[in-house]
Chains A and B, each alone.
Chain A
Amino acid sequence: MSKLELSSLYQLTMVRFRLFLREPEAIFWIFIFPILLAAGLGIAFRNRPADVLQVGATTSQLTQALAADKGLKATTIDETAGTHALATGDILLLAIQKPDGVEYKYDDTNPDARAARLVADRAVQVAAGQREAVHSGNQLVHETGARYIDFVVPGLLGMNLMGSAIWGLGFSIVEARQKKLLKRLVASPMPRWQYLASFLLSRLAMLVIEIAAFLGFARLVFGVPFRGSLGQLAFLCVLTSLSFSALGLLIASRAKTMEAASGLMNLVMLPMWILSGVFFSATRFPAVIQPVVRALPLTAAIDALRGNMLQGMNLGQLVIPVEILFAWLVVPFAVSLRIFRWR
């Protein structure tokens, strides 16, 4: 046997790899699922060329006036049928010919309908002979980095780092405790720190694959930008993963059954899935709960990842989220080492 094979840290870490790789479900959730999710979201929220807006008009004259604008597709329809079409979403706006002019019927809480109102009115005014007072032209820009997919990729990355660290550590440790393997290990001369270190080492190695696969996909398929330093991005990923590993360790430090651990994990992760701005900006939540939202590790992680990837910020500009992540690394780790139940 080689020297390496005799090293208990090496053996413990290899065991972590083997157990992970022999669990097909884990591979799916950690490697494949985030990519599928990104692909799905990328397709669903892709920025299409400006849509042609469906509108209706009560007279054919009005229809002609509206159809003159390329942004509108107009059909002639009577008022009753038009109201029905509005309700079912077939058209966004109904232009009604009145003796004294034109009236627009639309839902003003729908942004598309509001746009239709502006375009339709302009078309009607132009048809009536209005000329623009100031000449205006357009210069079109399709900026990467401002699309939804660009926004959501760092969010999904943060969410994935959280899930793989908490599940990876939490379930394995609690399972070992439940099966009395932990007790058997501490009865052996195994150095206890190595058991925990093996989780961190295997986590870091898996992290490389996980991040490379996910970000590589986002880059190649959607052209998601990397505006910040890649080295600093790697640092942020490692820090995030370690913070959530510490949290996973804390969750696993006393739970005796998988059910208890599972409940605790959901309790910890569910609020963050919702509050931490994975799919939409966390700033949308009311100001009262903002301090709580800001203090969550996933919010800090996603803020830092977005800052790096989308805005090209360096670590100096990301001091606050990095500090929050460090706090989430140190405190849970220290607490779990104190309260960890080895049997």
Chain B
Amino acid sequence: MADGVTETTGAMTGSDLGAVLPVEVQMMSGPSLLLRRLRKTFADVVAVDGLDLEVMRGECFGLLGPNGAGKTTTIEICEGLTPPDDGTVELLGLNWASGANELRQRIGIQLQETQFPDKLTVEETLRLFRSFFRRGISIEESIRTAQLEEKRRSRVGTLSGGQKQRLAMACALVGDPELLFLDEPTTGLDPQARRHLWDLVDQLKQAGRTIILTTHYMDEAERLCDRVAIMDHGRIIALGTPSQLIASVGGEHIVEFAITGHETGQGLVDLALLTAIPGVQSHRVDAGLHQLSVRELHTTVPRIFAALTGQGLHLSEFRTHSATLEDVFVALTGRNLRDE
């Protein structure tokens, strides 16, 4: 498992850290974001359940998880929109209690579901947001970055979903933020618009900004993020680089197969034989579909065939794919992300 989750067991608690390391926290070398023992409960639902997290400067960090995992609550606590019930939040060495005004000047925010007024133009909307910041980039630059040149005089109501989302990004960028929060930036977009937005995030990463984004798309997190925290039920269940997380499943490949004639098939396959094959790390069955995580396809796949044939079974389906963060989530929770 990745290194990050063990932070909870570290000897130093959040408040100690603040007291012991004030100089470092003040300095530019400290983390961009520091969360300690964060908790938030809505009525009887625990949205965030004792979360610890550290995001370094220049990092593109992804909070990944199914809907309802607590991603948005976490990010809104970071953005100062929701006060936590417990725990500490530190951004750029500042906190919301004493440095709210300063912080709002230095962070950029894109929220889920913001609808800008339909009857304002792109340029007018950006001009409005730009006026809130003491310093920042020019309207022209923000329009260029978001590739909205052709739409600058169009009303927001006439923009496509992807263009609206790029406008939201541009509004987040006008203050030239050191830290950028993107909450599900591509949810609801078509594949082309998603890729377009990914390119934009790539550019921002290259410009050295710290980016914290939430998503429930595993491919998005894999594509964009330097490090990822997988969240479920308000907790971080895995933390690391995408490749570390994928490696933690134990195999880089996933083999999926189903057996003819038996919808369930489970009782007929001798699991012991399969898991005994060298290179097979784990096995699970989901609706008649067997999944094996496997280290080396070229050596294990022939043995899997042999084992199945030896039991007199016939395959109705057989496929393999490289392990993804999706498989990590499945391995950790036994559920698919899509099930939510």
Contact = CB atoms under 8 A, between A and B. Distances in A.
Interface of A: 1, 5-8, 10-12, 14-15, 18-19, 22-23, 176, 179-181, 183-184, 186-190, 343
A18 B111 CA distance: 24
A11 B114 contact: no
B113 interface: yes
12 contacts: A1-B138, A7-B131, A11-B128, A18-B124, A19-B120, A23-B119, A181-B114, A181-B117, A184-B114, A189-B101, A189-B132, A343-B81
**For the complex, would chain A's binding face be called helix, strand, loop or mixed by DSSP majority?**
helix
Given A6-B131, A8-B131, A343-B81, A189 B115 contact: no
A212 B124 CA distance: 29
B111 A187 contact: yes
Given A18-B120, A22-B119, A189-B101, A183 B131 contact: no
A15 B117 contact: yes
Contact of A183 (B105, B114, B129, B132): B114
B109 A187 contact: yes
B119 A187 contact: no
Q: Which 5 A-B pairs have the closest CB atoms?
A: A179-B115, A189-B104, A11-B131, A8-B131, A22-B119
B127 to A, nearest CB: 6
**For the complex, would chain B's binding face be called helix, strand, loop or mixed by DSSP majority?**
loop
Contacts of A179: 114-115
A209 B77 CA distance: 44
Contact of B119 (A5, A12, A19): A19
B294 to A, nearest CB: 45
A5 B119 CA distance: 19
B133 interface: yes
A184 B110 CA distance: 8
A5 B131 contact: yes
B305 interface: no
B175 interface: yes
A181 B127 contact: no
A5 B128 CA distance: 9
A187 B104 contact: yes
Contacts of A184: 109, 111, 114, 171
The winner among B105, B128, B131 for most chain A CB atoms within 10 A is B131
B114 A180 contact: yes
Given A18-B119, A183-B81, A343-B81, 14 more contacts: A6-B131, A11-B128, A14-B124, A19-B117, A179-B114, A179-B115, A180-B114, A183-B114, A187-B80, A188-B109, A188-B132, A189-B101, A189-B134, A190-B132
Contacts of B104: 187-189
A25 to B, nearest CB: 12
Nearest to A21: B119
Nearest to A15: B128
Contacts of A22: 119
B116 interface: yes
Contacts of B112: 180
A6 B126 CA distance: 11
Nearest to B112: A180
Nearest to B116: A181
Contacts of A188: 104, 109, 129, 132-133, 175
B79 interface: yes
Contacts of B131: 5-8, 10-12
A180 B130 CA distance: 19
B175 A189 contact: yes
A180 B113 contact: yes
Contacts of A343: 81
Interface string B108-152: 010111111101100010011111111000110000000000000
A12 B128 contact: yes
Contacts of B117: 15, 19, 176, 181
Nearest to B106: A189
Contacts of A14: 124
A180 B134 CA distance: 24
A306 B328 CA distance: 76
The winner among B105, B117, B124 for most chain A CB atoms within 10 A is B117
A338 B255 CA distance: 60
A189 B104 CA distance: 5
A6 B130 CA distance: 7
B6 to A, nearest CB: 32
A11 B131 CA distance: 7
A180 B115 contact: yes
Given A18-B119, A19-B117, A180-B114, A186 B81 contact: yes
Contacts of B138: 1
A93 to B, nearest CB: 61
A171 to B, nearest CB: 12
A343 B81 CA distance: 9
B77 to A, nearest CB: 12
Contacts of B139: 1
Given A15-B128, A19-B120, A189 B105 contact: yes
A10 B111 CA distance: 25
A12 B131 CA distance: 9
A8 B105 CA distance: 13
B141 to A, nearest CB: 12
B115 A11 contact: no
A181 B119 contact: no
A14 B127 CA distance: 11
A180 B111 contact: yes
Contact of B127 (A5, A183, A189): A5
A50 B109 CA distance: 72
A6 to B, nearest CB: 6
Nearest to A188: B132
The winner among A1, A180, A184 for most chain B CB atoms within 10 A is A184
